[in-house]
């Protein structure tokens, strides 16, 4: 990629020229775009004489990618951006509007983030089984991560941690569920998450789960407050339960594949809900590490040793599972016309019991697995751009179009025909600002 300079021109307009453009839906005929002040101001058209010109050298320009299922941290948001993931959607954690104000003030080198706040779950229910018992103390894995941050970032993360743990009320009744939803929305949650996880697939059968009445009350209250609701579900039965409760999206794809699969698929389709399958997680749960991804120089050149080690490990809590079953299930749902979104379920910090996943890199792995399952590369890319933006109401991103955010990624090759090329990243822009990606 040659450049007339990343800095803005006299007109404040930057033109990215000589690009092939995937606009979030399809490859289009235009060969250049213009950006100004963080916004795409034109796709095609006449380039102003004084525009700063960046020659893409026939690389492919795409919208910034969206990971529709993460648990994140400042470090996670930094890693995501290196891989062209310009938005992460947190499904349980502290990056609500309040949390963003505390933790991300004046940080320009992190992906944008939205959050569910703290999920609606039973006392001692999922995800407690995944976390070390720390009785309100800051766990060692968090302290280790804090050492890598600047003092300002460290203080912000500590404040957010205290905020999360002070503000996560117990939910045992309908009234408490309603109150919990209100608390999350008051903190600036962008959507609401409920947990339906009895633990079999996670290797801990018998986890407490809230009753259907309590969870249904949480869904109803969230909808009253104009928030969409997602459900953590990993079995066909819990998926069906969640759909019957009226959720707007399933944050996972069921790992078991019972004879009644067609009934579950029909229920999802009829409800209008979307599915974020997190095939990368299913692969890890059945014992497959992401070793090929970890060995790719386009990946390991951007990640710390700790995260590479995590990619080379796996959850391995349900080794009797089959990835082919997940492939069949996601294709059945896709063919039924259900929106499929790209998500990874990556953890905020590198934890060995949560292996096979890493921020940013796993989005590209998920794209590869969707194509392996039977998606076309274009369909897979839609699932990481225009579809999550639409389903989460993020109307300012996910596509390359006039008036939208200039969240962009430029890649060598052609990921619309060879999905692995999505990792050949040449440049990333967040709100029009070029990012350091190495």
Does one domain contain both 38 and 127? no
- Residue 321 within any structural domain of the chain: yes
Least confident range of 9-13, 84-88, 406-410: 9-13
Identify the domain containing residue 56 by its residue range.
11-63+397-437
| Contact status, residue 51 vs residue 12, Cβ threshold 8 Å | no
Number of domains comprising the chain: 2
- Residue 250 within any structural domain of the chain: yes
Does one domain contain both 125 and 226? yes
Which DSSP symbol is given to 47? P
- Residue 29 within any structural domain of the chain: yes
Give the length of the chain: 438
CA distance to 119, 197, 245, 332, per residue, from 77 (Å): 20, 27, 32, 33
Does one domain contain both 259 and 116? yes
Q: What is the Cα–Cα distance from 350 to 166, expressed in whole angstroms?
A: 24
Is pLDDT at 401 greater than 60 in this prediction? yes
- Residue 3 within any structural domain of the chain: no
Q: What is the Cα–Cα distance from 380 to 286, expressed in whole angstroms?
A: 23
Does one domain contain both 108 and 125? yes
Is pLDDT at 8 greater than 50 in this prediction? no
- Residue 153 within any structural domain of the chain: no
Q: Which helix (H) or strand (E) holds 35?
A: strand 33-36
Q: What is the Cα–Cα distance from 281 to 239, expressed in whole angstroms?
A: 16
- Residue 149 within any structural domain of the chain: no
Q: Which helix (H) or strand (E) holds 155?
A: helix 151-166
pLDDT grade for 105, boundaries at 50, 70 and 90: confident
pLDDT grade for 3, boundaries at 50, 70 and 90: very low
The two counts, helices (H) then strands (E), for the chain are 16, 18
The whole-number pLDDT of residue 438 equals 72
> Model pTM greater than 0.85?
yes
Give the tens place of pLDDT for each residue, 68-79.
999 999 999 999
Q: What is the Cα–Cα distance from 81 to 108, expressed in whole angstroms?
A: 11
Does one domain contain both 221 and 85? yes
Give the tens place of pLDDT for each residue, 196-251.
999 888 888 889 999 999 999 999 999 999 999 999 999 999 999 999 999 999 99
- Give 296's contacts (C-beta < 8 A, 6+ positions apart): 423
- Residue 416 within any structural domain of the chain: yes
Does one domain contain both 300 and 315? yes
Does one domain contain both 286 and 388? yes
What is the percent of the chain with per-residue pLDDT over 90, rounded to a whole number? 80
**Pairs from 42-49 (Cβ < 8 Å, separation ≥ 24):** 42/402, 43/400, 43/401, 43/402, 47/15, 47/17, 48/9, 48/11, 48/13, 48/15
Residue 175 exposed, middle or buried by CB count within 10 Å (0-12, 13-18, 19+)? exposed
Does one domain contain both 111 and 34? no
The whole-number pLDDT of residue 179 equals 96
CATH of the domain at 44: 2.30.40.10
Q: What is the Cα–Cα distance from 373 to 383, expressed in whole angstroms?
A: 14
Q: Which helix (H) or strand (E) holds 146?
A: helix 140-146
Does one domain contain both 84 and 175? yes
Give the tens place of pLDDT for each residue, 358-369.
999 999 999 999
**Average pLDDT of the segment spanning 402-431:** 98
**Average pLDDT of the segment spanning 405-411:** 98
- Residue 145 within any structural domain of the chain: no
Q: What is the Cα–Cα distance from 71 to 93, expressed in whole angstroms?
A: 6
Does one domain contain both 316 and 405? no
Is pLDDT at 166 greater than 60 in this prediction? no
Does one domain contain both 292 and 404? no
Please count the other Cβ atoms lying within 10 Å of the Cβ belonging to residue 352.
12
Based on C-alpha coordinates, what's the Rg of the chain? Answer: 21
Least confident range of 39-53, 70-84, 167-181, 258-272: 167-181
| Contact status, residue 409 vs residue 428, Cβ threshold 8 Å | yes
Does one domain contain both 309 and 256? yes
CATH of the domain at 277: 3.20.20.140
């Amino acid at each position: 990629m040659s450049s007339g300079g990343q800095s803005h021109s006299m007109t404040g307009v930057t033109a990215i020229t000589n690009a092939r453009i995937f606009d979030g839906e399809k490859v289009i005929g235009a060969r250049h775009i213009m950006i100004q002040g963080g916004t795409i101001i034109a796709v095609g058209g006449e380039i102003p004489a004084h525009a700063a010109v960046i020659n893409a050298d026939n690389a492919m320009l795409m919208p910034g990618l969206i990971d529709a299922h993460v648990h994140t941290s400042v470090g996670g948001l930094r890693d995501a951006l290196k891989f062209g993931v310009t938005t992460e959607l947190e499904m349980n954690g502290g990056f609500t509007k309040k949390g963003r104000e505390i933790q991300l003030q004046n940080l320009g080198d992190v992906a944008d983030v939205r959050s569910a706040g703290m999920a609606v779950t039973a006392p001692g229910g999922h995800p407690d089984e995944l976390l070390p018992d720390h009785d309100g103390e800051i766990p060692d894995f968090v302290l280790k991560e804090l050492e890598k941050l600047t003092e300002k970032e460290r203080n912000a993360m500590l404040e957010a941690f205290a905020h999360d743990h002070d503000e996560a009320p117990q939910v045992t009744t309908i009234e408490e569920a309603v109150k919990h939803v209100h608390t999350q929305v008051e903190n600036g949650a962008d959507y609401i998450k409920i947990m339906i996880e009895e633990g079999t697939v996670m290797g801990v059968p018998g986890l407490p789960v809230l009753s259907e009445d309590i969870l249904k009350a949480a869904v109803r209250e969230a909808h009253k407050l104009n928030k969409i609701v997602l459900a953590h579900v990993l079995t066909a039965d819990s998926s069906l339960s969640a759909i019957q409760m009226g959720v707007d999206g399933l944050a996972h794809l069921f790992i078991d594949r019972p004879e009644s699969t067609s009934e579950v698929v029909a229920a999802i389709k009829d409800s209008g809900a979307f599915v974020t399958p997190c095939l990368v997680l299913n692969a890890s749960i059945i014992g497959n590490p992401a070793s090929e991804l970890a060995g790719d120089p386009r990946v390991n050149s951007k990640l710390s040793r700790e995260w590479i080690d995590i990619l080379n490990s796996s959850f391995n809590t349900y080794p009797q599972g089959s990835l082919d079953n997940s492939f069949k299930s996601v294709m059945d749902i896709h063919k039924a016309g259900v929106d499929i979104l790209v998500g990874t379920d990556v953890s905020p910090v590198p934890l060995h019991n949560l292996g096979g996943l890493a921020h940013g890199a796993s989005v590209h792995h998920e794209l590869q697995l969707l194509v392996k399952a039977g998606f076309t590369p274009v369909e897979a890319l839609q699932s990481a751009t225009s579809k999550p933006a639409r389903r989460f109401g993020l109307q300012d991103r996910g596509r390359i179009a006039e008036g939208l955010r200039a969240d962009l990624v430029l890649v060598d090759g052609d990921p619309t025909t060879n999905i692995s090329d999505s990792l050949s990243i040449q440049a990333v822009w967040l709100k029009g600002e070029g990012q350091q990606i190495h």
